[in-house]
Amino acid sequence: MTVIGQSHELERHARGAFVPTMGALHEGHLTLIRRAKNLAGNAPVVVSIFVNPTQFGPGEDFSKYPRMLVKDVELAMAAGADVIFAPEATTMYPPGQNVETPPLPDVATKPKLEDAFRPTHFAGVCQVVARLFDLVKPRWAVFGEKDWQQLQVITAMVEQQRPRWEDLEIVPHPTVRERDGLAMSSRNAYLNSSQRKQALALWRAMSEAKQEKSPAQAELVMRTILDESGFVVDYTVVRDAATLLPIDRYDQPARALIAARLENVRLIDNASIGGKP
Ligand code: AMP
């Protein structure tokens, strides 16, 4: 196990499996690392830990985002990581050097979901992920379905930029949940005990929405449950699973997506809906 901070030290660890994270690792991240280990075989498993300032908007939680590098290194190592890349901001964004943001694919700008509520978010995500792919040079990169729009954005970005990262494969991994259905998230640490109970409404909303016959009815059911549970709702939608554009009926793979706030804690979740994966 090696913890490295300088990008040139990554050269020996190229062509393996990569899991980018912002740290505060939980079982969701660790499952991704185990998946990476399976994909990599004898090739290296690289985990990055970097709280990327450029993907946080003004007034978001960048400064209070949980940071616990020593514990994270231990957990990542136990899950199968060979190398932890934990750079300083100046390594990722060297002063005086312009680290480009790749052109954003349509799924980062057209759906009006995270792109509308966090207008600079995907530019920051694409900037940091492109930079990480350039430095780490992985053969596989594992991303969680928890951040569904992000997963579609990264997948589209890689296709759009081929052959920049050669045969890099974006590998999706299902959302890991607590026993009661709440999606694991580093931000769950912000919830107090009554908010933790309220947070279950996201899972309940998606489960009930699956019983409905149309996307419109499913959207309404989710909205009602979240309103009644005391959330301020950003969106409850059912969309085409890949483009994230609106749909009228279930004749293509569809996804239910939620973003909602409890005071200053913003939670997102999503699930397959409509009978097709
Ligand atoms: P983050 O540290 O929040 O930037 O997440 C790093 C990676 O872990 C992303 O690909 C996330 O989608 C993924 N991830 C976060 N939470 C979960 C979860 N509960 N289940 C599966 N993947 C997750």
Amino acid at site 65? Y
Nearest to 170 by CA among 146, 184, 152, 185: 152
The pair of structure tokens assigned to 35 is 């998946």
Q: Is 72 in the pocket of ligand 1 (CB under 6 A)?
A: no
d(CA 75, CA 72): 5
Per-residue model confidence as pLDDT tens digits over 68-88:
999 999 999 999 999 999 999
- Which of 61, 121, 147, 187 has the most ligand 1 atoms within 8 A of CB, as the residue to mutate? 147
Distance 143 CA to ligand 1 centre (A): 7
The pLDDT assigned to 1 comes to 63
Give the bridge partners for 49, in sequence order: 21
Using the predicted structure, report yes or no on whether residue 40 has a pLDDT greater than 60.
yes
Which run of H or E residues covers position 49? strand 45-49
Cis peptide before 163 (omega within 30 of 0): yes
Active-site positions? 29
**Which numbered atom of ligand 1 lies nearest the CA of 23?**
2
Per-residue model confidence as pLDDT tens digits over 202-238:
999 999 999 999 999 999 999 999 999 999 999 999 9
The pLDDT assigned to 275 comes to 72
Q: Is 105 in the pocket of ligand 1 (CB under 6 A)?
A: no
Q: Is 184 in the pocket of ligand 1 (CB under 6 A)?
A: yes
d(CA 214, CA 212): 6
Per-residue model confidence as pLDDT tens digits over 131-149:
999 999 999 999 999 999 9
d(CA 247, CA 24): 36
**Which numbered atom of ligand 1 lies nearest the CA of 187?**
3
Number of other CB atoms surrounding residue 98 within 10 Å: 7
The pLDDT assigned to 103 comes to 97
Per-residue model confidence as pLDDT tens digits over 158-195:
999 999 999 999 999 999 999 999 999 999 999 999 99
Distance 96 CA to ligand 1 centre (A): 31
Number of other CB atoms surrounding residue 230 within 10 Å: 13
The pLDDT assigned to 277 comes to 43
Strands 45-49 and 17-21 come out as: parallel
Nearest to 56 by CA among 156, 157, 134, 127: 127
